[in-house]
Amino acid sequence: MDTSKNNDKLLAEALKRCASEQIQYVGAIQNHGVLLAYDEHEIVRMCSNNLKMFFKQSVLESIGHPVANLIGADLVAQIRELITRPGNWHLYPFRLPAVNSAQDGKLGATVHRADQLVVLEISLEPSESTRTPCELLSAIVRHTKQIQQFDDVASYCGFITDEIRRLTNFDRVKIYRFDSQWNGTVIAESRNDALPSLLNHHFPASDIPPQARALYEKRMMRNLVDTEAEPVMIIPKINPSTDKPLDLSLSVLRSVSPVHINYLGIMGVRSTVTLPLIQNEKLWGLMTCHNTQPIYIPVSLRETIEVIASTFSLKIEALESLIQAKAMEAGRIKQQKLAQLIRSRELSSVLAEFQAEYLSLAEASGSFIVIDENEYSIGEIPQRAQLNELIQWLKTQPLADGVFITDSLGKLFAPAQAYADIASGLMLIALDHLFTTYILWFRSETIRNIPWAGSP
């Protein structure tokens, strides 16, 4: 039997199950914290089965009773004010009333609304935090000042991974960016010797199924503290308000799919932090931290990381706008040079003499030029009928100063998929708005051998 093929088949089946899994209804949390869910009357309706980790009351003694019996009237009042605002809110530091608490340490919590219930998730904060409040504030100030010096995405992402690893002490921090098909490429990494490098590796879209991406788009940072810890069930299993399991989309304690746990084990990873990177309200990529031993991220540090992530999104948007502006400016410069060249002498002789130099202006493999009624071609270009169809489509597209650029023509104009081998990329320069004089550069499809960190 071919073991590798059998393993690939098992992995494919596991990923298929994972893709269909409703992970927001997993019905369990990680065991380093406690979950309470209560209704508009502030009566507990659901809770995790490890309630006695923090409270003297049992699950049966708590469900159906006022939440104030557990967390105290003052904290209930504080939450009542918070939940008038949208989103997730952090609560720290605080202590539970001694009369109810089985834990006298400092606690951190998050609170949100789900399924007509208020969901409170509580974790014990480390007695000796690795980062003081002053250090965390300093990290934000330093980050805000230093990001001004970066003018390209790669170097900025490298800086971010170094900063996050310094703050969290994780063995490896990586940023990977999604392509249009949701495959991810690791574009930056900071690590020690405990874990191997994944820089420039590619991860197939199946690694992060659609429902997981949908949860990341809610901007939720996730800390999986220990892959070897047993999950804790939520009681009762069915939410009495909805007749289905509690929606844990916004839960920071939500348990993780066994398929994902197994995947991390294969990678030698025991603890993770995953942070979505959002640009223009869409998922741009992920920042992922890996560690070979369990690590819990305190609520205070969580907030610091989330602030840095929000500035990351703004900076990336600015950098990519700058890159696009530079590309458009380069196109305009080429437009001016070519207009001068065309006016200076007979174009056919220019093309014959400077074919390589002309194509190199756009790193192209072919070009089609129209000047009034005169047509010129050089290198590999689509067939005449294909050109006519493409040109008619281009006339309907918005042009920024007469320039249109894409490196994925077939994704924008489906008929171009038939000739992707010679025209995968395209740059149009229209020298007038009537399309009587224009230049098309074509770039052939490039097939690359890339290192996949999984079966694509």
Give 11-26 pLDDT, tens digit per residue: 555 555 555 567 778 8
Whole-angstrom Cα distance, residue 255 to residue 377?
Answer: 60
Q: Give the range with max mean pLDDT: 80-84, 130-134, 426-430.
A: 426-430
Residue 447 has what pLDDT? 47
Report the percent of the chain where pLDDT is more than 70. Answer: 79
Q: Which residues contact 111 (CB under 8 A, 6 or more apart)?
A: 79, 82, 83, 88, 89, 91, 118, 119, 120, 121
Residue 456 has what pLDDT? 33
| Reduced 3-state DSSP string for 293-319 | CCCCCCHHHHHHHHHHHHHHHHHHHHH
Residue 317 has what pLDDT? 73
Q: How large is the average pLDDT for residues 276-300?
A: 89
**pLDDT tens digits, one per residue of 104-162:** 667 888 888 888 899 999 988 776 555 666 666 666 666 666 666 777 788 888 988 99
Backbone dihedral angles phi then psi of residue 442, each to the nearest 5 degrees? -115, 140
Whole-angstrom Cα distance, residue 150 to residue 417?
Answer: 37
Cis amide bond preceding 258, omega within 30: no
Residue 402 has what pLDDT? 82
Residue 231 has what pLDDT? 95
- The answer, yes or no, to whether residue 82 has pLDDT greater than 80, is yes
Confidence of residue 312 (pLDDT cuts 50, 70, 90): confident
Residue ranges and CATH numbers for the domains of the chain are: 23-321 (3.30.450.40), 345-443 (3.30.450.270)
- The answer, yes or no, to whether residue 449 has pLDDT greater than 70, is no
Lowest mean pLDDT among 62-66, 369-373, 394-398, 412-416: 369-373
Mean pLDDT of the chain: 82
CA diameter of the chain: 94
Q: Give the range with max mean pLDDT: 24-33, 133-142, 359-368.
A: 24-33
Whole-angstrom Cα distance, residue 292 to residue 265?
Answer: 10
